[in-house]
Structure formats: C-alpha cells, structure tokens
Structure 1
Amino acid sequence: MQEIWYTGIVTRLVDETHNTRRFWIRIPELERFDFKPGQFVTLDLPIHEKKNKRWRSYSIASHPDSTNIFELVIVLLEGGVGSTYLFNEIKEGSTLQVRGPLGMFTLPADMEKDLFLICTGTGIAPFRSMVQYIQLHQLPHPDIHLIFGCRYEQDLLYAEEMRQLDKDMPRFHYIPTLSRQEDWTGKKGYVHSIYEEILADNKRPANFYLCGWKAMIDEARQRITAMGYDRHDIHLELYG
C-alpha cells in the first residue's frame, strides 16, 4: 500500500447539487497524477487525534488526463465529521493531505463482457472516470449500462454529461432511476429491477460493478448471484 502523502491544493470548487460539491485538487510536486479509472484517494483531515479516524477515502471522479489535477465529488453527510469539515473549511487555495491512487476497482483487462455499472449517490464517481476514459481512448467495448439510483431528479450527478455520452457512444446506456419523484418520466424505483429487466430475456456474460451504500450492494450481490452469475463477475466499492 502506497504510504506517500502529498500536499494537494484545492484549485476549484463547484456545487453540483444541493448537498454535493466537486473538488478539483492539484498535486504541485508531481508533473502528472497517474491513476487507473475507478481508483480512489485518501484524505487526512485534521478532525481527530487518531490517524484512522482522520482518514476519508473518495473515488476519483475525473479520468486520467496526464495533468497533476484530479476531481472528487463529495456529499455532505448529516453528522459526517469529514464531509462537514470539507464543506465548511475548505476553500479555493486550501491544502489537503492526499494519499493515492489506491484500489483495485478498475476496468476488466479484456472488456469482452457487457458491463453493468450500478451506483447510488456519489457512487457514480468511479464510473464517470471509466466511461470518459473508454470514450476518450476509443476502447472497443460491448454494451455498458450505467444504472444510477437517486431519490429525486435534483440528486442526479453529471446528468447532462451522461446524457451526452449516451448520445455519443452507441453502446453506452445511461439509465437514471428515481425512487421518490412522482412526475419523473424515466425509470422509477430502485436500481435492482433495472438490471434484472435488461437480463431477463437474455442472460449474457457480464461484469457487474457496484458502488454505493452497503444496503444497495448487499442486495445487488444477492440478486445477481440469484440470476445465476458467479461471484467473480461482481466487483464492488463500498461507501460509508
């Protein structure tokens, strides 16, 4: 595990929704911050005396672009000490202690099976990185289904960008599904019914990537294996 800590400078902040913020961080001591789409960084925040209670990990939301800047998207959690610090104390020009990139939640080497990218909330971050990377490098790929679950339309992250990718990439399918919005004309309910519906008539080889809260991931694992898929087809990144 990489133990090098860098001092990152926050170069830009943008509120993406009412409770999520995008943070752009530059690592001045590196010419380029190299990572694989899907990896995360750990921040050491001055919120506790014990190391392990100061560390917060976030998936990188941007794709590798040969610069020393990367983007995180962070949700303000009610009672969350780490996110409260980041939202209240961090301004443009602030510094953050950063370790990474870390993690094995990365694209498969072969890209021969359909990809189901299933997420809730800020769990879209690693998938945004992956899909942008696939498009930028014109990687050959089968069908990619990004199934993004939220409560309301206002909670959808990167919605316009995802809709544009859906238009630009013939085999990329962006499927936002909302659990609480009555007047929503798209898919309603939870993420699980979506992939079950897609695979109901044609159970084809697939890789499932899950990113979000534990309850969603636990249920998805049960349902995917119940459909007859092997646990090795399931890859996950747990939040919280």
Structure 2
Amino acid sequence: MALQPWRTGIVTRIEQATHNTRRYWVKVPELERFDFTPGQFVTLDLPIHEKPNRRWRSYSIASWPDGSNEFELLIVLLEGGAGTQYLFHEVQVGTELQLRGPQGVFVLPQDLQKDLYLICTGTGIAPFRSMLHHIERHNIAHQGLHLIFGTRSQSDLLYYDELRALEERLPGFRYLPTLSREQWQGCCGYVHNVYEDLVHTHQAAEGSLPHAQFFLCGWKAMVDEAKERILKLGFEKKDVVLELYG
C-alpha cells in the first residue's frame, strides 16, 4: 500500500474518558471519506521537536469506517511524554493537526474461521473496538470473539457500557474486562489468567486446543509475556499477531 500524504486534520471534539485518557475526534476536510481498515493507525506530526522523526506519534484508530471523513483516537497521558503533553495541554477543539494515514497491517484476517482472542491493556483496546463494530456493522460471519481487556481499576475501564451493549447484540462475542488492583464482580488479575482459563476450559471439554488466533495490543511487557505463554500452550507463531505500544 502506497504511503499516504500528509494531510491537515481538525479536532472537532474532545472527551475525557478516564482520569488520564481522552477521546479525540479528528476530521479531514480535504477528503469526503477517510477510509481505513479496522486495526490501522494514523501518525501525527506534532510541533514538539525540530527533527521530523522526533515529532511523529502513532495512534490506533478507535472508531470504525463509517463513510465519513472523521475518526476517533484514544490517547493516554504519558508522564514526561512530549507528544501526549502537547495533545493534553495545547490541543483543543478547532486545533489543526498534521497527520498521515491510514497505515499498518494489524487487521482482521480475510475469513474469520477461527476463534479470535483479542487481548489488550489500556488504550490497546482502540483497534479491537474498531474491529468489533465493523464485524457487527457488516454482519461478517465469524466464530467466537473474546475481548480480554486488562486495566487496574473500574475507574480505568474504557468503553465499558458500550461493549457490554455490543456483547448483547453481537452473537459469539464475549467481553472480559479484568482488573489487576481491585476486586469486583468481573474477572480479577492479569489478562494472562483469563485467556489461559478459556483455553484450558475448551481443552477439557473438547480434548483439543481451540481453533484460534490471538491478537495482542498494548504495552510491550504484556505483549511479550502473552506471546510466550500462548506458544507454551501449544499454539504456533502464526497464530499470534502483535501490535506494540511504547
């Protein structure tokens, strides 16, 4: 795919999602439609450094293709991070942003013939939100869909009510948020416990590993550990697809 040119986007809306995470809606006026494949990202060129490659920050698109020229980004404030400090303290509705995209190959397979385990932490939930709504919107045939989202506490949950509602509407979809530092009615602990339990339960019932593919998105430590654990469960490298943050 040819590299897209730099374009000017305009911030149309900003919403606080949690204490340190915001949702940014960006419109690209020169395009009638901003087309992308769910799971892709855009790169922003922020005025934070003289060297271009020190100004670039990439963020997964959190919305889904809807035929418009507007999309959503989900961004967490990083302590000492020049890019997010600028976005949180300087950018407001009406601010122009230089952007390039869509880019990336962290996308759904052509045929959803395997169970999908979508495993994420923090803002790594963004590309999976895009994928799941796209599946529902286009009534794409699929097997089981397991969204396993790890965060610290209930106050850090992202898109919670929306994803619970989607779970009711989308056949075969299970939303499994897990909290590492708070007890609640849902899953507790790290994401690894959740997907391992699902795999072991399937093995006990069926006598074999599930016919599955694992998509991992989030901080490097989580992604690296998950990949190692999934391979130890008996899956192959081709069954694991990665997108690293940070």
Question: How high is the TM-score relative to the length of structure 1?
Answer: 0.98
Structure 1 partner of 2:244: 238
Report 1:14-53 matches (<5 A).
14-53=15-54
What is the Cα deviation at residue 8 of structure 1? 0.2
Structure 1 partner of 2:145: 144
Report 1:1-240 matches (<5 A).
2-182=3-183, 184-202=184-202, 203-240=209-246
Gaps in structure 1 of 5+ consecutive residues: none
Q: Structure 2 CA distance, aligned partners of 1:105 and 1:209?
A: 8
Q: Structure 2 CA distance, aligned partners of 1:192 and 1:233?
A: 16
What is the Cα deviation at residue 207 of structure 1? 0.9
Q: Structure 2 CA distance, aligned partners of 1:61 and 1:29?
A: 21
What is the Cα deviation at residue 130 of structure 1? 0.2
Q: Structure 2 CA distance, aligned partners of 1:237 and 1:181?
A: 27
Q: Structure 2 CA distance, aligned partners of 1:190 and 1:111?
A: 26
Percentage identity across paired residues of the two chains: 61
What is the Cα deviation at residue 170 of structure 1? 2.5
Q: Structure 2 CA distance, aligned partners of 1:87 and 1:5?
A: 22
1:127-171 residue CA offsets vs partner (Å, 9 max, x unmatched):
000000000111111000000000001101100000001111130
Q: Structure 2 CA distance, aligned partners of 1:157 and 1:5?
A: 30
What is the Cα deviation at residue 51 of structure 1? 1.0
Helix, strand or coil for the counterpart of 1:25?
strand
Q: Structure 2 CA distance, aligned partners of 1:146 and 1:233?
A: 16
Question: How high is the TM-score relative to the length of structure 2?
Answer: 0.96
What is the Cα deviation at residue 30 of structure 1? 0.5
The amino acid of 1:210's aligned partner reads L
What is the Cα deviation at residue 52 of structure 1? 1.0
Count of aligned positions: 239
Q: Structure 2 CA distance, aligned partners of 1:110 and 1:61?
A: 22
What is the Cα deviation at residue 105 of structure 1? 0.2
1:62-93 residue CA offsets vs partner (Å, 9 max, x unmatched):
00000000000100011111000000000000
Moved over 3 A (4+): none
What is the Cα deviation at residue 3 of structure 1? 4.5
Helix, strand or coil for the counterpart of 2:68?
coil
Q: Structure 2 CA distance, aligned partners of 1:12 and 1:167?
A: 28
Gaps in structure 2 of 5+ consecutive residues: 203-208
Helix, strand or coil for the counterpart of 2:125?
helix
Q: Structure 1 CA distance, aligned partners of 2:164 and 2:7?
A: 35
Helix, strand or coil for the counterpart of 2:105?
coil
- Contact conserved, 2:4 with 2:102, CA < 8 A, in 1? no
The amino acid of 1:230's aligned partner reads E
